[in-house]
Amino acid sequence: MRLVGNKTHGDLAEIGIAEFINQFMYDFKSIHVGKDLFRAKEREEDIVIINELSKVQFPVSLKAYGDGPLQLSTDSDQKMFPYLESQGKDITDPKKIELIFKSDAFKDFLNVNVMPLIYNESIKHCNIMIFDHEKAMLETARIIYIGKGESFGGLSQSKGRKHPIFKFLDKDNNYICEVRYGGASANALQRGLWTHTRNALGFFDSITNGWIDYSHNHTLVKLFSLALNATEKGHAEANEILQKDIDNLKLKK
């Protein structure tokens, strides 16, 4: 879908995953929340998944990121960083760390349902990696403030970093995640809750059981371009053909 464009592939993934759940995950249905409902959203969800048996529903935020930094939450209320500032710059007391995760500022930490597709475009590998928030909470042994231009453990900060961060580390000072500056002057990439798919590998579970190869589907791009220039009657006829193909896939399963 990235062949269509970097600004559109995420939106295409949202409607594609929602339809995948409706077609292939029995006893579940999915609703694409859409951007029009943004102001009404309680969380950062893109789709809502509903268990049709129990009627339980939960939101999921879909992301497509390169292999590296991954934003788990924008922290839209800008609570996390200011709260950590009030707790100190090098927090190691287990009881204090536990209280931080139970605080109002971190109340949604376990409710961040992010399903990220991580890709490496140069070698055409991808991986669906889910961050284990519960493990991150249990194994956080240190929360340390890293100021603008400062480094930790001999590792320099990214070039051009304009804002400080709080790093979450395990007992061996291994990286888990970070909270970036939450002030008004910070943009979406400079604030919120982040992790790193390479540096925090032990805190991810892979739905795809590791990296899988992919290739460009130029036929799909052609389908999109034709659909955008066809009539609704043509769309309906194409939908029937595509549904038959999906039904055949279900039979093969």
Task: Give 216's DSSP letter.
Answer: -
Mean pLDDT to the nearest integer, 212-234: 95
Give per-residue pLDDT as tens, 85-95: 999 999 999 99
- The strand pairing partners of 195, in sequence order, are 70
> What was the pLDDT predicted at 29?
95
The pTM score is 0.82
Q: Are 129 and 202 in contact (CB under 8 A)?
A: no
List, edge to edge, every strand of the sheet that includes 90-91.
Answer: 69-73, 192-196, 175-180, 165-169, 142-146, 90-91
Q: How many Cα atoms are found within 13 Å in the side-chain-facing hemisphere of 8?
A: 6
Mean pLDDT to the nearest integer, 225-229: 96
Q: How many Cα atoms are found within 13 Å in the side-chain-facing hemisphere of 169?
A: 18
Q: Are 203 and 135 in contact (CB under 8 A)?
A: yes
Give per-residue pLDDT as tens, 159-177: 556 789 999 999 999 999 9
